[in-house]
Amino acid sequence: MMRFVHLTDTHLNAPGKNGQFPTSNHFEKVEQTIRHVRETGVDPEFVLVTGDLSHGGDVEDYIFIRSLFDEASRQLGVPVYVVLGNHDHLSAFRQGYLGESPSEDPFYYVQYIQGLRLIGLNSQVSGQPGGRIDDVQLSWLENQLQTPAPKGTIVALHHPLISLGGYTAKGLLVENREQIARVIAGTDVKGVFAGHVHSNLFGISQGIFHIVAAGTAFTAELEEGRQHFQFVDMCGYNIVTVNEEGIMVQAIDLPRSRTEYMRIPSKGALSK
C-alpha cells in the first residue's frame, strides 16, 4: 500500500510582494496543511503539488517556494514532486526552483516511488489560462507507457483531463484531452491527478480515475443560483491511498473562515 498527499494551487508569492487577495496569506495555508499532515499522522510516501505553485511566477517567488517545499519535505521526511500550472512561468521556475539557467523547455518527468510510477506532465502554455500537452511530450508519454510499472502509474498535471461537473469553458481543461485519453487508455495508468479548478471534483473515464483537488489557497464555489463563482477562504488537500485494489481519496477541508475574497460571473464556464 502506498499513501501520498496531493496538494494543488498554492498560488504563492515571495514575502513582501502583494498577494493574490489582500486578506489571504497563502503561505500560512501551506504551513497549516503541512502541520495537519504531520500532526494527524498521515505518514505519506511523498507529496504531489499539481501546479499554480506561484501566483506571480517571478524568480524570487520560486526561490521562496523552493525553500518552503524543502522545509515541508524536511518536516515530513519525504520528497515533494511538482508540476506547473498556468500561473507558473517556466523560465523563472527553472531558475528559482530548480537552480538551472533560464529556459522555456517544458518541465515533465517520470519518477518511481517503491514501484509506483509517477508521470508529471507540463500542461502549462505560457501566457494562456488553458492547457495543452504538446506533440513531443505526448510521444514521450506514449513511449513511457509501453512498459508497465511494477505497481502501476499515476499521472499528474495541472489542467483536468476530463470535463467534470459541467465545467466546460475553454481555459479550464486540457485542449487536446481526447488525444491524451487515447494514449493512456488501456495502459497501467490508474489515476490522473489535477488542480486548476479550485474545487474537489472526481470522475471516471475509460476505467481511469480522475481526481481534481480543491487547492490550498482558496476554493471556487458556485453561489446559489449558479450565476457566480465565489473565491472563498478555504484550504483543502487530499490523502491518496493506492493499492492493488485501486485508489482511495480522502478530501480534507481545513478550518478556515469561508469568507468571500471575490466573485466572477460563471457565464460560459458551465454547461447543462
Binds Fe ion (CB under 5 A): choice among 85, 96, 120, 152: 85
Q: Which is nearer to Fe ion, 165 or 241 (CB)?
A: 165
Q: Which is nearer to Fe ion, 85 or 160 (CB)?
A: 85
Would you call 15 exposed, middle or buried from its count of C-beta atoms within 10 A (0-12, 13-18, 19+)?
exposed
Beta bridge partners of 203: 210
Instruction: Please give the C-alpha separations between residue 247 and each of 2, 66, 81, 192, in angstroms, as whole numbers.
Output: 10, 29, 19, 11
Residue 196 found at the interface with Fe ion (CB under 5 A):
yes
Nearest distance from C-beta of residue 217 to Fe ion, angstroms: 7
- Name the amino acid, one letter, at 35: R
Q: Which is nearer to Fe ion, 116 or 192 (CB)?
A: 192
Q: Which three cell numbers stand for residue 13?
A: 508569492
Q: Which of 244, 208, 207, 236 is nearest to 220 (CA)?
A: 236
Residue 8's φ and ψ, nearest 5 degrees, are: -155, 165
Residue 52 found at the interface with Fe ion (CB under 5 A):
yes
In the bound complex, which residue of the shown chain has the CB atom lying closest to Fe ion? 52
Binds Fe ion (CB under 5 A): choice among 54, 86, 216, 219: 86
Q: 3-class SS at 126?
A: coil
**Helix or strand holding residue 95 (H, E):** helix 90-96
Residue 238 found at the interface with Fe ion (CB under 5 A):
no
Nearest distance from C-beta of residue 158 to Fe ion, angstroms: 6
E-strand spans in the chain? Answer: 2-7, 46-50, 80-83, 109-113, 116-120, 153-156, 189-194, 201-205, 208-212, 219-222, 228-232, 235-242, 247-254, 260-265
Region of 83-91, 162-170, 226-234, 260-268 interacting with Fe ion (CB under 5 A): 83-91
Q: Which is nearer to Fe ion, 78 or 192 (CB)?
A: 192
Nearest distance from C-beta of residue 264 to Fe ion, angstroms: 13
Q: Which is nearer to Fe ion, 78 or 220 (CB)?
A: 220
Region of 3-11, 28-36, 55-63, 259-267 interacting with Fe ion (CB under 5 A): 3-11
Q: Which is nearer to Fe ion, 117 or 210 (CB)?
A: 210
Residues near Fe ion, by CB under 5 A: 9, 52, 85-86, 196
